[in-house]
Amino acid sequence: INRRLSAVGVHEALKVYTWMVKQHLMRFIVI
């Protein structure tokens, strides 16, 4: 169990999550 690896995984997951939220909000605003 590598603490650094898990931290990077969490960071990547957060980046993907925020990107998905931004895409959803943009689509909602356009419509």
Q: Given this model, what pLDDT does residue 22 score?
A: 93
Q: Given this model, what pLDDT does residue 18 score?
A: 96
Q: Which residues of 8-17 are buried (b: 16+ CB within 10 A; e: fewer)?
A: eeeeeeeeee
Residue keyed to tokens 């969490």 = 10
* Cα distances (Å, whole numbers) of residue 15 to 5, 6, 25, 30: 15, 14, 15, 22
Q: Given this model, what pLDDT does residue 31 score?
A: 59
Q: Given this model, what pLDDT does residue 6 score?
A: 86
The tokens of 23 are what?
A: 């895409």
Q: Given this model, what pLDDT does residue 4 score?
A: 82
The pLDDT tens digits for 1-31 are 578 878 889 999 999 999 999 999 988 877 5
